[in-house]
């Protein structure tokens, strides 16, 4: 049995609340004492009955602790991986025993799901990392702290340990406000915004007419979402009228499909986006034959996670990575230039 603050992999830990801990949520109290366990992991342990006090099992992550209260946390050994490891090629940008940074190609699904039970990034990571993966969530599988849509390419970091998962999750939750995390996406979009720089502040929620889509909403149920953009280049049609642009986006929040929905909301949907840019299909007629061929060859939304920077969860060192436009996006940009 381990007492006090420690970096946890597995085992039984006893911790005692001090005066300053009085009134704190149980999950927050444990997270502050046991380094290396994310709050989501701690909440799962509590709900699974693996946290107890003097009065018995504690099952509510939000219950308040009292000064002097002793809490025992039982962290099980990680179970074997649920998804199977597979020999899927990965473009590894950086790797150590704490994390791995991947340059994800378009078309690669991150998590196994209905219709995508194999060949995913998770399968590839289990196959690549083997026993170096720790027990994220009590299961030996990589800790996905952020995702990219299947057809969005670019940089993605994955935690190998609970400690790395907790730190990276915290950094992503701050969305760069504290300066530790930086992310930049590059898109090729229809039209050109009226300003070279802008801020899109529009809440998002599941569409009421199509549950597979996200939509801008004014309903109270909408989730706050903010995207900042900068126009990098503009492309005119044969008549000299603005037709498309290359645009960089940074996020204050990380909502599903956020960039795709926000750019469509201001009238500049991403080229090739079959979900949020379908109403711009008529604009294809304005493209040159070369640009039409490049857009057809792209076959997906022209969105790329081009920059990722963060603080290393163990050393505190600043890590920064950049990924050039994939060849199919670069070809489209060149064709649009004429």
Catalytic pick among 21, 27, 103, 149: 149
Nearest-10 Cα torsion for 165, 20, 48, 148: -30
Residue identified by tokens 């930049």 is: 184
| Region of residue 316 (phi > 0: left; psi between -120 and 50: alpha; otherwise: beta) | left
What torsion do the CA atoms of 215, 219, 224, 229 make, to the nearest 10 degrees?
A: 50
Distance, in Å, from the CA atom of 267 to the CA atom of 261, rounded to the nearest integer, reads: 10
DSSP helix, strand, coil percent of the chain (3-state; round to 5): 25, 30, 45
Task: Tell me the residue ranges of DSSP E strands in 166-302.
Answer: 182-190, 197-201, 204-206, 214-216, 226-236, 242-251
Are 58 and 73 spatial neighbours (Cβ–Cβ below 8 Å)? no
Do residues 104 and 155 make contact, with C-beta atoms less than 8 angstroms apart?
A: yes
What is the spatial distance between Cα 48 and Cα 331, in angstroms, rounded to a whole number?
Answer: 51
Place of tokens 């599903």: 256
Alpha helices in the chain (DSSP H): 26-33, 39-47, 121-129, 162-174, 258-265, 289-298, 327-337
237 is a catalytic site residue: no
Q: Which residues are catalytic?
A: 149
């Amino acid at each position: 049995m381990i007492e006090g603050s420690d970096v946890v992999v597995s085992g039984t830990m006893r911790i005692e609340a001090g005066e300053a801990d009085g009134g704190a949520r149980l999950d927050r109290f444990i997270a502050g004492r046991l380094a290396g366990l994310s709050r989501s992991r701690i909440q799962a342990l509590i709900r699974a009955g693996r946290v107890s006090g003097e009065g018995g099992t504690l099952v509510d992550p939000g219950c308040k602790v009292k000064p002097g209260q002793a809490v025992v946390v039982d962290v099980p050994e990680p179970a074997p991986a649920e998804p199977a490891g597979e020999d899927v090629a990965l473009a590894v940008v950086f790797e150590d025993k704490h994390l791995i940074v991947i340059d994800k190609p378009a078309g690669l699904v991150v998590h196994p799901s209905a219709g995508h039970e194999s060949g995913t990034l998770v399968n590839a990571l289990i196959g690549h990392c083997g026993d170096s993966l720790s027990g994220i969530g009590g299961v030996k599988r990589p800790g996905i702290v952020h995702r990219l849509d299947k057809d969005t390419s670019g940089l993605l970091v994955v935690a190998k340990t609970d400690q790395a998962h907790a730190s990276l999750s915290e950094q992503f939750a701050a969305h760069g406000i504290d300066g530790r995390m930086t992310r930049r996406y590059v898109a090729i979009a229809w039209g050109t915004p009226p300003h070279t720089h802008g801020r899109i502040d529009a809440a998002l929620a599941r569409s009421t007419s199509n549950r597979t889509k996200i939509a801008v909403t004014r309903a109270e149920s909408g989730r706050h979402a903010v995207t900042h953009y900068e126009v990098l280049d503009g492309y005119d049609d044969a008549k000299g009228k603005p037709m498309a642009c290359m645009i960089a986006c940074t996020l204050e929040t990380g909502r599903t499909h956020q960039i795709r929905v926000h750019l469509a909301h201001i009238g500049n949907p991403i080229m090739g986006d079959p979900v949020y840019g379908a109403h711009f299909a008529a604009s294809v007629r304005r493209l040159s034959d070369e640009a039409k061929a490049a857009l057809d060859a792209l076959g997906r939304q022209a969105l790329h996670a081009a920059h990722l920077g963060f603080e290393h969860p163990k050393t505190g060192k600043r890590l920064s990575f950049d990924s050039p436009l994939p060849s199919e996006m670069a070809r489209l940009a060149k064709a649009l230039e004429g």
